[in-house]
Amino acid sequence: NAGVMQNPRHLVRRRGQEARLRCSPMKGHSHVYWYRQLPEEGLKFMVYLQKENIIDESGMPKERFSAEFPKEGPSILRIQQVVRGDSAAYFCASSPLGSREGIQYFGAGTRLSVL
């Protein structure tokens, strides 16, 4: 039973390029969450998605960041025109339908470095 799969594990981009981070939830899970972890900081919630729907994007920066979870395929977190401040670890988590107590299972993260 594979866990939450994220790829790539490491991503290097130059300023102004686009970054695409992928997340496949655990089998049977239909809820996906994205978090960002800056050095010396805790995980910060960015966005919560169900299939084809963004449920809560209150933690997403208003510009350059977008997320989707299509009917088929992984969830994608997209960062356009990356800047050095976007360098961070981005974690994806998933939970099953109907989880009421908030247990989320995390992937190993994608470490984005912006040169």
Partner 1 sequence: EDKVVQSPLSLVVHEGDTVTLNCSYEVTNFRSLLWYKQEKKAPTFLFMLTSSGIEKKSGRLSSILDKKELFSILNITATQTGDSAVYLCAAYSGGGADGLTFGKGTHLIIQP
- Interface with partner 1 (CB under 8 A): 3-4, 31, 33, 35, 40-46, 48, 55-56, 58-59, 91, 93, 100-109
H-helix segments, 1-115: none
Distance CA 75, CA 21 (A): 8
Question: Cβ closer to partner 1: 46 or 77?
Answer: 46
CB neighbour list of residue 25: distance below 8 Å, 6 or more residues apart: 4, 31, 32, 75, 92, 94
Q: Are 46 and 34 in contact (CB under 8 A)?
A: yes
Question: Least distance in Å: CB of 95 to partner 1?
Answer: 9
Work out how close the CB of 107 gets to partner 1 at its nearest, in angstroms, rounded to a whole number. 6
**Nearest CB to partner 1, comparing residues 14 and 28:** 28
Pick the closer one to partner 1 by CB: 16 or 61: 61
